[in-house]
Amino acid sequence: MGMQKKQILKTKKAIARKRSQGTQTFQAPKGMHDIYEPDIALFDDLQDVVRDLARAYGYQHIEIPVLEDKDLFVRSVGLDTDMVEKEMYVLKTRGRDILALRPEGTAGVARAYIQNGFMYMPQPVKLWYWGPMFRYENPQAGRYRQHIQAGFEFLGADNPIADAETMQLAVRIGESFGLKNVCVYLNSIGCSACRVSYRKALKAYYRTKSRKLCSDCKRRLHTNALRLLDCKNETCMMFRKDAPETLGYLCKDCSAHFKKVLEFLDEMKINYFLDPYLVRGLDYYNQTVFELKAIPSQQQPVDGHEQQKEPLSFGGGGRYDYLMKMLGGPDTTAVGFALGIDRMVEIAKQEQVKAKKQNPRVYVIQMGDIARTKALQMLDMLRAQGIFAGFDLCRDSIKAQFRSADRLGVRYALIIGQKEVVDHEVLIRDMETGIQESIPEEKMIEALKERLRLARKDKINHTFYGVPS
């Protein structure tokens, strides 16, 4: 059992003991959790990947409020969706405003686009965000009531290439984070015109099964037929495989749009699979919809959802050309997606993806109170030069500090004691050879940079020629 698991078990026993004694203890609310090492390192790595690729694809960062007007989500997401009916955290302020903790980010970005006059900027506008979302649902693997999402919204673009570009970006984020076999599952649900005939066919099919449908689907049959395809009830999922497919009901324009999207994905060599029953769970989508999954290497994905064990979805999105108009803004075509960051980290842990830890390159070792003060000054000098240094100013033991330096694998230690402070010098010790040299304080940075450069060059040469270092 690892040290961290032992600590968790010990803490749980202590909490249980205090409860039995009548002492009040507190825990995070159900479905909400603390994130700390070692998992936090993966979250940090993923945020770096998201930020770098957002910049590379021309997206600007936007921060939207955690709280929004409840009606923003009712109007955009849909009154008959599970998110609005069952999953929103709603509160009333002292001023009697009814607000909701945001369950998703697209509606908030659309509101910001209208409120801040983004429509008057050169189009298209690309915006990305990162932050917590809140949904009252049963916690699952990588899905929490408070969870982190990264979202990308491509606003003011109606060309099918925009659909393909967003999917390419989503796949590249997953791959750059270290997920294997990232695939896009996609479908087209058509426009408001061609969906009319599809809904009629869908209702006619499900009416013959109505007695066996779950209670939610019996209601959806009358309120929002597309949601029938999104049900996770086993019986309802069994009926789905014989239901009418959306692709057979697309109008000429929607069919041409989807065909171009597939052609672009083929050109980009994006791994995708058609899922004729994918609809997504929100009302604002039209035409292209997609989900992202990381397929375990031992599984071979097929069209639809026929593999024995369904891989976890870690994100999804699609086109939403009607949303701005629904919220009182101008007609604005748009496409976007969101990534479940907790789910991606969960998948990464299953695939044993390692965090990219930035270990210190040097370690500052001090001896005595006078040296501690000088060490703080040295650490500031090193940081200013971009040199990441390890240290522990609370330790008095020299041996303990050297052990810490060894564990971090640093090449050089900077040693400073009372004599070095008085003489304005510092000892630079090579941790591999044990050789150390006294250097004037004013030449410390120059001498250290040269040693680090030679050490890096030596490491590269050993790697290139295959000689063990």
Q: What is the pLDDT of residues 191-216, one digit of tens each?
A: 989 988 998 999 999 888 888 889 88
> Which contacts of 2-5 are long-range, i.e. CB under 8 A and separated by 24 or more positions?
4/38
At 359, which helix (H) or strand (E)?
A: none
Side chain identity at residue 268, one-letter code: M
C-alpha–C-alpha distance, residues 283 and 320, integer Å: 9
19-38: burial string, b at 16+ Cβ within 10 Å, e else: eeeeeeeeeeeebebeeeee
- DSSP-based three-state secondary structure for 214: coil
pLDDT at residue 168 in the model = 97
pLDDT at residue 301 in the model = 52
CA atoms within 13 A on the CB side of 9: 6
- Positions in the chain short of pLDDT 50: 1, 302, 304-307, 460, 462-469
pLDDT at residue 459 in the model = 58
pLDDT at residue 81 in the model = 74
C-alpha–C-alpha distance, residues 183 and 170, integer Å: 10
Domain with CATH 3.40.50.800 in the chain: 362-465
- In CATH terms, is domain 39-193+251-350 a member of 3.90.850.10? no
Rounded to 10°, the helix 369-384/444-465 angle is 60
CATH class of 362-465: alpha beta
Domain with CATH 3.30.930.10 in the chain: 39-193+251-350
pLDDT at residue 465 in the model = 39
According to DSSP, residue 140 is labeled B
pLDDT at residue 468 in the model = 40
Phi, psi of 76 (to 5 degrees): -90, -50
